[in-house]
């Protein structure tokens, strides 16, 4: 049964009416709890479709990915004026370039905060990120006039860790939730803008349902995000069932809780220990092992790499990654999409052929 998920605009209006602040957050990894401790509510911006891309195209090369092109266009058309700040993690060179453009040239009405992420899992990476988070704390304190205590930070961290745990349980029980491909990802992705408390309530409601497993050929999806989301309905129409994913906006953000009692280090431990991600420089071998184990656990018969056009971190790894998966007995299909456009018929044909191959 579909779940009633509040609309993004209504959520933002409710936050503002209650005196909360809104942070427009670009992909991918960032400290939700740190923002919430300041009464700042994160609302993620994943390159909204259906914008006038010529606005961003005047300052970006044509081969920059659509997420960055659309985000800049979205900002220049004034759509983020409701945001009290813009947070941009250093996910890739394109997003770092966007940060520079906003700070030095475009200068939106809201202050821009960069967040530099480490490219490894060493102790030095945890220390570096903890210091970055302390720097972000100082900037938010200057912006808001607030200075949350360690106790307030840890309370916010506990709220978000509960949501991470519930997200993990949604994945574990996804085949008995009674939710089709699209409804499952609508629920999961509602965390991109819902406050932790509201997302937790929706997740717990979904987890209380026990339904018969859905039929379909089990598939694993990988990439940045499932946009256009019509691909999920398309897979279902073709008798495919998404049983797991390695999406940057979904499965790669199943964070484990940190262990430290110190809040900044606890946040850093959690973010650094996230699943393997090419945007954080993780080894291809780690990704291969992760995907093979995930496929074995969920009985996925194949992988669809559903990639945003021109996403360099993803595409650099793809040839070697697919070859290594094939050697391990896991076949794959690569599809590149433009999030501005509907799915072409050619994509539907290729997915259908892939599913037919898996069933023979």
pLDDT value of residue 2: 65
SS3 string of 70-111? HHHHHHHCCCCCCCCEEEEECCCHHHHHHHHHHHHHHCCCCC
Q: What is the pLDDT of residue 237?
A: 93
Residue 1: per-residue pLDDT: 56
State the Cα–Cα distance between residues 220 and 242, nearest whole angstrom: 6
Going residue by residue through the chain (360 aa), what tens digit of pLDDT does each one get?
567 899 999 999 999 999 999 999 999 999 999 999 999 999 999 988 778 888 877 788 888 888 898 899 888 888 889 999 999 999 999 999 999 999 988 888 899 999 999 998 999 999 999 999 999 999 999 999 999 999 999 999 999 999 999 999 999 999 999 999 999 999 999 999 999 999 999 999 999 999 999 899 999 999 999 988 999 999 999 999 999 999 999 999 999 999 999 999 999 999 999 999 999 989 999 999 999 999 999 999 999 999 998 899 999 999 999 999 999 999 999 999 888 888 888 999 999 999 999 987
pLDDT of residue 27: 95
| Residue 218 host element (H or E) | strand 217-223
What pLDDT does 26 receive?
96
Q: Say if CB 68 and CB 90 are below 8 A apart.
A: no
> What tokens were used for 350?
């290729």
Residue 288: its H or E element: helix 284-298
Ordered by where they begin, the domains of the chain are 8-135 (3.40.50.11890)
Rg (CA), the chain: 20
Contact status, residue 76 vs residue 55, Cβ threshold 8 Å: yes
**What are the DSSP E strand ranges found in the chain?**
21-25, 40-44, 85-89, 112-115, 217-223, 240-247, 302-308, 331-337
Asked if 187 and 179 count as a contact pair (C-beta separation under 8 A), the reply is yes
Contact 340, 53 (CB under 8 A): yes
């Amino acid at each position: 049964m579909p779940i009633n998920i509040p609309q993004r605009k209504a959520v933002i209006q409710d936050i503002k009416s209650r005196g909360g602040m809104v942070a427009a957050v670009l992909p991918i990894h960032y400290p939700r709890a740190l923002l919430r401790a300041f009464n700042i509510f994160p609302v993620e911006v994943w390159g909204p479709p259906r914008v006038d891309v010529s606005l961003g195209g005047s300052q970006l090369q044509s081969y920059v990915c659509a997420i960055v092109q659309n985000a800049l266009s979205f900002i220049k058309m004034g759509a983020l004026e409701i945001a009290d700040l813009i947070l941009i993690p250093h996910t890739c060179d394109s997003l770092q370039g966007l940060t520079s453009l906003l700070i030095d040239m475009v200068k939106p009405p809201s202050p821009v905060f960069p967040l530099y992420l480490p490219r490894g899992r060493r102790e030095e990476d945890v220390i570096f990120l903890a210091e970055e988070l302390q720097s972000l704390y100082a900037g938010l304190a200057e912006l808001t006039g607030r200075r949350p205590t360690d106790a307030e930070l840890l309370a916010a961290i506990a709220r978000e860790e509960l949501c991470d745990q519930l997200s993990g349980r949604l994945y574990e029980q996804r085949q008995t939730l009674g939710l089709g491909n699209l409804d499952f990802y609508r629920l999961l992705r509602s965390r991109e803008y819902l406050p932790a408390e509201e997302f937790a309530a929706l997740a717990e409601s979904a987890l209380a349902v026990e339904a018969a497993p859905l039929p379909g050929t089990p598939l694993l999806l990988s990439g940045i995000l499932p946009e256009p989301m019509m691909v999920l309905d398309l897979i279902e129409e073709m008798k495919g069932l998404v049983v797991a994913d390695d999406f940057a906006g979904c499965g790669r953000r199943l964070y484990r809780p940190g262990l430290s009692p110190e809040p900044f280090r606890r946040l850093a431990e959690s973010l650094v220990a996230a699943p393997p991600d090419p945007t954080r420089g993780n080894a291809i071998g780690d990704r291969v092992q992760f995907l093979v184990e995930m496929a074995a656990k969920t009985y996925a018969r194949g992988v669809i790499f559903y990639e945003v056009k021109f996403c360099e971190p993803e595409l650099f790894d793809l040839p070697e990654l697919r070859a290594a998966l094939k050697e391990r007995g896991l076949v794959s299909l690569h599809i590149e999409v433009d999030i501005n456009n509907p799915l072409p018929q050619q994509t539907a044909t290729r997915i259908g052929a892939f599913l037919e191959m898996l069933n023979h």
